[in-house]
Amino acid sequence: MTNESSVWDRPTRFLHLGLALTVTVQLLVSLFMVPPGSRHPSTLLGHVGFLVHEWAGLCALCIVLAHWTWSILSSGSAGLGHLFPLTRDGRREIAVELRELLSGRLARCGPRGGLSGLVHGLGLLAVSAVAVTGGMLFVMFPANGDPSALAHHIGDLHSLISKLAWTYWCGHIGMAFLHQFAGDDTLRRMFRPR
């Protein structure tokens, strides 16, 4: 039986699902898309992939903005204190959980701060940076595919930060399944419909 203090609130679960879907689409489509003006020859699949990447990226940007708004306006398990548990107690909890992790014990998961909250906060920062730079490219990139020097630099930054997003995505999914197999029932608690 799941106790209510181990379940995220509905808006947080909805925002997490939105980010999970849009970021997953973004990352997977980036493997075969071909942006305009690329040195690689464009195929129909590459062109459609780029269009999907653009529009899913705009959706991700909207969800990121909604998530930050919700985190700023909320308190407790949905607030900034969850994502960045940097108070004295939060830092102490992170230190204890890091020692436990080094001893082979998983940190507790759920709607609380500690190590899992900090990791979520850092992941949200990485996804936010990718979404913002992608949004800037959407606005700045000319239709003819010949970008300005600034757009080119923002594109390079977008590409660099996306590697952090890939790392976070793989690690986050891996830890979720590790917790699930350890008996934490993480996936059902995050994605349950009610």
Q: What is the CATH number of the domain that holds 152?
A: 1.20.950
Is residue 172 situated within a structural domain? yes
pLDDT at 117: 85
Q: Which residues contact 127 (CB under 8 A, 6 or more apart)?
A: 19, 23, 60, 64, 165, 168
User: Phi, psi (5° rounding) for residue 66?
Assistant: -65, -40
Q: Do the domain assignments include residue 108?
A: no
Q: What's the whole-model pTM score?
A: 0.83
pLDDT of 3 > 60? The answer is no
Residue 105: inside a domain, yes or no?
no
Q: Within a 13 Å sphere around the CA of 25, how many CA atoms are in the beta-carbon half?
A: 19
| Predicted confidence (pLDDT) at residue 181 exceeds the cutoff of 90 | no
Degrees to nearest 5, angle at CA 9 with 62 and 193: 85
**Residue 96 placed within a domain:** no
What tens digit of pLDDT does each residue of 75-85 get? 766 788 888 88
Which is it for the CA torsion 181, 182, 187, 192, positive or negative? positive
Number of domains making up the chain: 1
- Say yes or no to pLDDT of 105 above 90: no
Q: Which domain holds residue 73?
A: 4-78+117-191
Would you say residue 86 lies in a domain?
Answer: no
For residue 143, being part of any structural domain is answered with yes
Higher pLDDT, 141 or 193: 141
User: Minimum mean pLDDT among 4-13, 33-42, 88-97: which range?
Assistant: 4-13
Residue 88 in domain: no
